[in-house]
Amino acid sequence: MTTHNITNTVWTDAKDDRNHGTLELHLELDNGAGRPITGAVWSSVVPGSESPHALILCGHGASGDRYQAPTPHLARRLVKAAPCTVLALDGPVHGLRKVDSGGRDAFWSEINRDGATKDMIADWNCAIEATKQRFPGAGAKLAYYGLSMGSIFGIPLIAQRSDIDVAVIGLLGTTGAVEHLREALLTAAPKVNCPLLFLMQLEDELFDRLGYLELFDALGSTDKRLHANPGLHPDITREEVDAAFNTLHSVTL
C-alpha cells in the first residue's frame, strides 16, 4: 500500500451524551495537497494501544455528512459490542468542508470534476493511515459501509485495496443519476472480491432496478447478498440497518 503524505493531523474530543462510555474523536488532517480531510472516530480501544482490532470505515450519502444516520447508531453499537474503531469521513464537499449547500447540488457539480473519485480515495487512504497512527492496533481486519454516494466512492476504494474483509454497499445503480459514471463503476466492480451485502430500494427515484442489478451482477465477490425492499431512495428499513450491523460486526469476531 502506498504511503501517503499526512500533515497537520489534529485530534480533538467530540463529546456526545449518547456515547454510552465510548470514545468519540474529531479528526482533521491535510493530505499534502492543501485539501483538508475531516471525520469522526468512535472507539472502544485506548488510543496508542497496539492490541489488534478491526477498523470499520463509514461513507455517507450526498445529502449528508460524517454524522448522517445511521452511521452514529452503527458506530456506537459496533464499539459497544466488541473492541473496534469506526472511522467516518465527510464527503468531498460536505460537512466541515462544505461547498455551497453541501448537499446533492454541490455533489453533482463535484462528481463531474475530473479526478473527484481519485481525490476522495486518496482522502480515505490518508485518513486510514492517520487513524492507524492514533490506534496502532487498528486494521487487523477492515470493513466498509457506504450507501449511495458512499458506494460511488466506496466501490473504487474497495477495488483498489486488497485488505477490506467485508462491505455493505448499495443504493446505487449504473443508470439514472450517475449514468455518466457507468463505465467507471463497471470497471471497478469486478475488482471487489470481499463478502458483501448490497441494499436496493425497489422504487428508488434516482436509480432504476435494471441499473441496480447490472452493478450487483458486475461485483466480483463470490459471497454477495442482495436485499431489496419497497420504498424510495432513502427509505432503508430498521431491519436492513440491523443486517448492516451484523455484516460489519462479523470482522470483530
| CA 57 – CA 68 distance, rounded (Å) | 14
Q: What value does the mean pLDDT take over residues 223-241?
A: 98
> If DSSP codes are grouped into helix, strand and coil, which group holds residue 177?
helix
C-alpha 50, offset from chain centre: 24
- Residue among 47, 29, 45, 104 nearest 252 (CA): 45
Residue indicated by cell numbers 473504487: 156
* The CATH number fitting domain 7-252, selected from 1.10.150.20, 3.40.50.1820, 3.40.50.460, 3.40.50.150: 3.40.50.1820
Q: Which residues contact 197 (CB under 8 A, 6 or more apart)?
A: 167, 168, 169, 170, 224, 225, 227, 243, 244, 247
Phi, psi of 104 (to 5 degrees): -60, -40
Q: What value does the mean pLDDT take over residues 54-78?
A: 96
Joined grid coordinates for residue 144: 466498509
Burial (CB < 10 A; 0-12, 13-18, 19+), residue 191, is: middle
Model's pTM, two decimal places? Answer: 0.94
Q: What pLDDT shows up at residue 29? A: 93
Instruction: List the domain boundaries for the chain.
Output: 7-252
| Residue 204 contacts residue 179 (beta carbons within 8 Å) | no
Tens-digit pLDDT profile for residues 22-60: 689 999 998 777 789 999 999 999 999 999 999 999 999
Decide the pairing of beta strands 84-89 and 36-43.
Answer: antiparallel
Burial (CB < 10 A; 0-12, 13-18, 19+), residue 112, is: exposed
Q: What's the whole-number average pLDDT of the chain?
A: 93
